[in-house]
Amino acid sequence: MHYPNISFGYKLKKMAFTLKGELAIVGKVSTKSGEIEVSRSKTFLNGGTLSFFVEQRIHHNKVFIIGLKDNYVKFYWPTWMLFSTFNRFYHIPELYISWIL
Amino acid sequence: MKVRNFYMIGLLLLILGCNKESLVPVPDSGINSFLKQTHQVPESSKPLMEGIYLVTTNTTIFGDTMVVKWNHSGILFTCKNGKHFIMNSGYLDSVIFIQGYWRDGYSDATGLCNMYISGSEGGNDLLEGKSAPHIILRGAYGTDNAAPNQSIILQYLRPFSNKVKESNFYILGHRAGGRNSDRLPVSENSIAMVKFTERLGTTGIEVDPRISSDGVAFIYHDADINTRLTQKGLLAGDVSAYTWTQLSSFVRLIHGERIPSLEEVLTFAIDSTELRFVYMDMKSADAVPVVIPIQQRAIQHAKDKGRDIIILMGIPDTDVLNALMAYPGYQSVPSLCELTVDDVRNVNAKVWAPRWTLGVQNDLVQQMHNEGRLAVCWTIDSPNWIRSYLDQGIFDGLVTNFPYVVAYHHYIQE
Amino acid sequence: MVLVFLSVVVYSQRNDNVKVRLNNYTLTVGAGWTHYINNLQVGGENLQNDFAGVSVKFFWEPEHRLSLGLESGYYKLFKANGLLTDNTLGQVDRSVIPALVLIRMRIIENMHLGIGTGIALITNKIAGGGQKVVTETLSLSNFELSGAYIYPLNKHLLLGGEVKLFHFGNTEDTMYSIQATCAVRF
């Protein structure tokens, strides 16, 4: 999968914000069960995402990031929806937490 | 500020990750449907209408050919690409009218459809019980509830081949016809689905029996009460923890139906449909001794009514296998075994049912045939694989969520 | 909601004259009113959905604006009576014990906004219709949004109030709670 993306950031005194938009492009999907290839698809637009992140220090100079992401996609690899038999888009929100140690 | 060493721990936490499938409404042809003014098409005319038709308009949408097949409830027109028409029919004078709706099994597209066969284009002959090789179906289809305005013309090509007419192939509807996520107008594992399923081209069903805490067998797929299968209600958690009274009082499936008991389902299938195969995919080993007497009563009832229907206890795992083998006289319990062919022989199952991803396995299927047993595979949904299995395999049936696709590829065989 | 949050945060950054706090830990208990948002499609007609709820939180408060914590509590979601098919009355109630990881940020002095996620144990009880049944469901996709005002009485004791919204994904239940809180800082 490919995620061409563009981000815009803004930094305050003690906090930074990022707004990021991505396209989700699937280069190839091939699902197999044992030797049998169940399905195959060529390059297609899987959808897009929009996310917003806030970064700030939590302790000494360690940075903590919290973000919210909306995936508007057909196939979402972390879950079963990679194997959907339907031609539909879904909104799948993610909460993102990151701690730079 | 320099950060010499850092490790990023990204925790991806999913919230609200389950998208609820919204319901696709069935287009409504309204209270003024002209079929109310027509007479029922004679039984002798129906097989003469069945066959393969050429699509002469809008082939990019419906493909080049269509299979037309009558069923217990109406008439099904099915295409190669998953689109299909669920229709009713009647005649007035020498014209046969056909009205209903079309839907796409793989998307949300749907719409109304009206068609007719005029007297001079086959109507006269069909109503007189004569074959009509020049049948032309003319009509229009639309989108959603809009009045049909796109032309559709079907030209009769040929009847079903002798190979198809002589076959006893079973098109088995998964969860009685399809899953809730297939956006059918009725809930999976419901009486409404058993009533509706033949319209999709099924000739048999697969259902999912469980037992309540007070020992009543019912059909329901998941282990818990959830909003995938039910309207949001007062109960939650393990479905089998509740009594039958509690479940039938407080649980409604997503289209509003009650959870049906297994006895209700089997009685309905025998009395009110022409289904020929019921595959009870046992969801727990505890249910085996409860289901067997129900199965036996149903088989006797079918025999009393002269119904040609097989009702089988499905064995999906070794727990159910062991529970069945612990039952006195288990070898005379009609069963369907999903495990190995040796397990099939040990339990004297009537049908072997391997998972489709194990391949066509023609050598093992032939062994089953040589022993007087049947073989079906599950659950096959991809149109390419359905066609491949029908062309290259020798199964007696396929379990599918898209019975209209299986129906297309089965009936079009030469 | 995102725009409101952003503007509050930007405002607080531009007017940040709050003293940097030291590394602290707080233990907070809270109690107050909870209201279940009735979105039942079956059996929601005669629902009792206002109860008292309690919460307990443990927070690590480092020197910047962010705090990390754990929260639990006990909330009754609803209680309902309904006629069963055997013409007897069934009584159903549902309660929840969440266990959430919280991130809280001080916006301006004493005002905090928080977000949390974690697990929740949802207990369903029914009496009538043959037998009493208790089922427990572990919900894995849950979240909390909260806003709190915390006023320090002295170095170790804080009083405050909190508004929070919970959503429990497994049963699609949503409730909010308004609580008075008391915290010990050490």
Task: Inform me whether the C-beta atom of residue B16 falls under 8 Å from chain C C-beta atoms.
Answer: yes
Q: Do residues C150 and C183 make contact, with C-beta atoms less than 8 angstroms apart? A: yes
C-alpha distances (whole Å) from C128 to each of B70, C45, C46, C85, C92 are: 47, 18, 17, 11, 9
**Mean of pLDDT values over C88-107:** 94
Contact A59 C6 (CB under 8 A): no
* Domain boundaries defined on chain A: 5-100
Query: In this model, does residue B323 exceed pLDDT 90?
Result: yes
* CATH number where C101 lies: 2.40.160.20
Residue A89's pLDDT is what?
81
**DSSP string over B59-117:** HHHH-SEEEEEE-SSSEEEEETTSEEEEEEEEEETTEEEEEEEEEETTSS-EEEEEEEE
Per the structure block, which two tokens stand in for B83? 């689109």
Per the structure block, which two tokens stand in for B224? 């818990």
Residues 6+ positions from C4 with CB-CB distance below 8 Å: none
Contact A79 B6 (CB under 8 A): no
Count structural domains, chain C: 1
Contact A93 B10 (CB under 8 A): no
**DSSP string over chain C:** -HHHHHHHHHHHHHT--PPPP--EEEEEEEEEEEEE----SSS-TTEE-EEEEEEEEEEEE-SSSEEEEEEEEEEEEEEEEEE-TTS-EEEEEEEEEEEEEEEEEEEETTEEEEEEEEEEEEEEEEE-TTS-EEEEEEEEEEEEEEEEEEEESSSSEEEEEEEEEEEETTTTEEEEEEEEEEEEE-
Predicted model pTM: 0.88
Query: In this model, does residue B295 exceed pLDDT 90?
Result: yes
Give CA–CA dist C103/B357, Å, rounded: 46
Q: Do residues C103 and A66 make contact, with C-beta atoms less than 8 angstroms apart? A: yes
Give CA–CA dist C55/B68, Å, rounded: 64
ipTM of the complex: 0.86
pLDDT band for position B314 (cuts 50, 70, 90): very high
Residue B8's pLDDT is what?
42
Query: In this model, does residue B137 exceed pLDDT 50?
Result: yes
Residues of chain A with pLDDT under 50: none
Residue A96 C-alpha, separation from nearest chain B C-alpha, in angstroms: 5
Query: In this model, does residue B283 exceed pLDDT 70?
Result: yes
Radius of gyration of chain C (CA): 19
> Which residues of chain A neighbour C5 with C-beta distances below 8 Å?
none
Question: 10 Å Cβ neighbour count for B294?
Answer: 22
- Provide the chain B residues 245-274 that lie in CB contact (below 8 A) with chain C: 245-246, 248-252
pLDDT band for position C89 (cuts 50, 70, 90): confident
> Which residues of chain B neighbour C42 with C-beta distances below 8 Å?
230-234, 250-252
Residue B371's pLDDT is what?
97
Lowest mean pLDDT among B3-7, B240-244, B334-338, B384-388: B3-7
Q: Do residues B259 and C50 make contact, with C-beta atoms less than 8 angstroms apart? A: no
pLDDT for B222-258, tens place per residue?
Answer: 999 999 999 999 999 999 999 999 999 999 999 999 9
Q: Do residues B366 and B387 make contact, with C-beta atoms less than 8 angstroms apart? A: no
Give CA–CA dist A1/A74, Å, rounded: 13
Residue B357's pLDDT is what?
87
Residue C13's pLDDT is what?
52
Residue A73's pLDDT is what?
87
Per the structure block, which two tokens stand in for B71? 């069923």
- Closest C-chain CA to B15: C141
Contact B9 A35 (CB under 8 A): no
Closest CA to B50 of B80, B75, B72: B75
> Which residues of chain A neighbour B5 with C-beta distances below 8 Å?
101
Disruptive mutation site among B14, B216, B250 for chain C (greatest number of C CBs within 10 Å): B250
Residue C11's pLDDT is what?
52
Touching subunits of B (3+ CB pairs, under 8 Å) are: A, C
Instruction: Tell me which residue in A13, A52, A59 faces C13 most closely, judged by beta carbons.
Output: A13
Disruptive mutation site among C3, C61, C66 for chain A (greatest number of A CBs within 10 Å): C66
Query: What kind and span of H or E run contains B126?
Result: helix B123-127
Contact B250 C124 (CB under 8 A): no
- Residue the block writes with tokens 């004297």: B348
Question: What mean pLDDT value characterizes chain B?
Answer: 92
Touching subunits of A (3+ CB pairs, under 8 Å) are: B, C
CB pairs A-B closer than 8 Å: 66
